[in-house]
Amino acid sequence: MSATTTDASARELHSGGDLSGTVRVPGDKSISHRALLFGAIAEGTTTIEGLLPAEDPISTAACLRAMGVTISPIRSGEIVQVEGVGLDGLQEPDEVLDCGNSGTTMRLMLGLLAGRQGRHFVLTGDDSLRRRPMSRVGQPLAMMGAEIHGRSNGNFAPLAVRGRKLRGAVIGTPVASAQVKSAVVLAALTAEGSTTVIEPAHSRDHTERMLRAFGANLEVVGEMGRHIRVQPGSTLQGQEVVVPGDISSAAFWLVAGALVPGADLMVENVGLNPSRTGILEVLEQMGASIEVLNERDVAGEPVGDLRVTHGPLKAFHIDESIIPRLVDEVPILSVAACFCDGESTITGASELRVKETDRLAVMARQLKAMGAELDEHDDGLTIRGGQTLRGADLDSETDHRVAMSLAVASLMAEGNSSLRRSEAAAVSYPNFWDDLERLQR
């Protein structure tokens, strides 16, 4: 039976199906950006296996190419080669650097470019990215002497960077954000004197792990790995990077497998870096059946295969202490909450309001269209469980993680749904719709 839809370009989403089989999620988005960026400023060649061939890393590669870096074509299943230009080798581009939808591209690029003396760069992005706050990066960089201009006192792109010699500093970042931390660390590589970054909470540490492997003089000191000290002066050497599957993409299958009656899914090759595994802890809190198999270390990152089977789920409660470790999984967890036994609460999640969309508002709006009972708060959601959602006309509102979360909600709905702007999924998971069709038999 097909869904009724008023928009011919909307994707039909069928409810029900068995949901079984094996899926290999595409490469980790955070690690993919970093492999391209660090490869670009290293000496020699970097090879990247498993790079995510999606819109966001393609934006990073396009910006780097515009500054003279040779990067082989990014195609699914192919190793990507980056010919490094060295720490100070990025050329002044003769075009605006378009970061597309990617906050990671823009924020890490600001850190990388702020110290390129005598060179001028202009960065922009799509409608969503031009509304996202950039002074969280600009302000710490300004403490190192950076000159970045933009709308609203430098908070919004388009941004102009005038490269300057930077000086090291001790910087407490305003939010637990790996993008902010990484921007400062990248600026520190060529600053005068050492830099220490202190985060309010531990955010994902892919930058620290990978930059050290490239040869940077970077130490993690203090409580819970929160102080990162960088000494400039080391050259980076090209590396062979292997990118594990993205746990943030795996999360859609993990929740779908836990929710859909009779489901049995194997999600292979998933990155299990402890700064990213909050979703597994919440699934455990819910009583979901998840087995971690074949745990191994791949190029400095822990990896495993995850088997999930359907079972009854309990309500969960998450607060600011875990948000940095599952920040991108809140949309799919809000879907899970609708089907748990009891009322779930998500607090301390105001960062969700400045992602690709205001994800608290968008998820509340879209789930309510399916009949969900929930309350939206400044910093989270309260969601009544045990609900019957009904198929509806849905909209990703251009957000990739919203698109995929709504696809999972639709599996569980009574009646089919339609989803406008479903193509947003390609920002982080280009084959998502094919994988869904294959697994939903």
Active site residues: 328
Question: Would you say 119 or 131 has its CB closer to ligand S3P?
Answer: 131
Looking at 328, 329, 397, 435, which residue binds ligand S3P (CB under 6 A)? 328
The structure tokens listed for 303 are: 């990896």
Sequence-ordered list of residues with C-beta below 8 angstroms from that of 396, at least 6 positions apart, any chain: 402, 403, 406, 419, 420, 421, 422, 424, 425
**What are the strands, taking DSSP E only, across 156-281?**
156-162, 170-172, 195-198, 217-221, 227-231, 240-242, 264-271
- Count CB-CB contacts under 10 A for residue 303: 21
- Determine, following the binding rule CB under 6 A, whether residue 179 of this chain makes contact with ligand S3P: yes
In the complex, least distance from residue 139 CB atom to ligand S3P, rounded to whole angstroms = 15
- Determine, following the binding rule CB under 6 A, whether residue 189 of this chain makes contact with ligand S3P: no
In the complex, least distance from residue 177 CB atom to ligand S3P, rounded to whole angstroms = 3
- Determine, following the binding rule CB under 6 A, whether residue 249 of this chain makes contact with ligand S3P: no
The structure tokens listed for 343 are: 């009322």
- What is the three-class DSSP state of 202? coil
From residue 249, give the alpha-carbon distance in Å to each of 83, 256, 271, 282, 314. Answer: 29, 12, 10, 16, 23
In the complex, least distance from residue 56 CB atom to ligand S3P, rounded to whole angstroms = 9
Looking at 177, 269, 387, 396, which residue binds ligand S3P (CB under 6 A)? 177
Question: Would you say 266 or 354 has its CB closer to ligand S3P?
Answer: 354
In the complex, least distance from residue 103 CB atom to ligand S3P, rounded to whole angstroms = 6
Question: Considering only 64-72, 117-125, 174-182, 297-305, which stretch makes contact with ligand S3P by CB under 6 A?
Answer: 174-182
- Determine, following the binding rule CB under 6 A, whether residue 425 of this chain makes contact with ligand S3P: no
- Determine, following the binding rule CB under 6 A, whether residue 128 of this chain makes contact with ligand S3P: no
Question: Would you say 23 or 327 has its CB closer to ligand S3P?
Answer: 327
Q: Which residues pair with 343 in a beta bridge?
A: 384
Encoded one letter per residue, x for contact with ligand S3P by CB under 6 A and - for no contact, window 294-313 reads: --------------------
- Determine, following the binding rule CB under 6 A, whether residue 104 of this chain makes contact with ligand S3P: yes
Encoded one letter per residue, x for contact with ligand S3P by CB under 6 A and - for no contact, window 5-44 reads: -------------------------x--x-----------
d(CA 102, CA 128): 9
- CA-nearest of 240, 241, 239, 199 to 220 is 199
Angle at the Cα of 157 from the Cα atoms of 154 and 162, rounded to 5 degrees: 60
- CA-nearest of 129, 105, 119, 31 to 67 is 119
State the residues that interact with ligand S3P by CB under 6 A.
30, 33, 104, 177-179, 182, 203-204, 327-328, 351
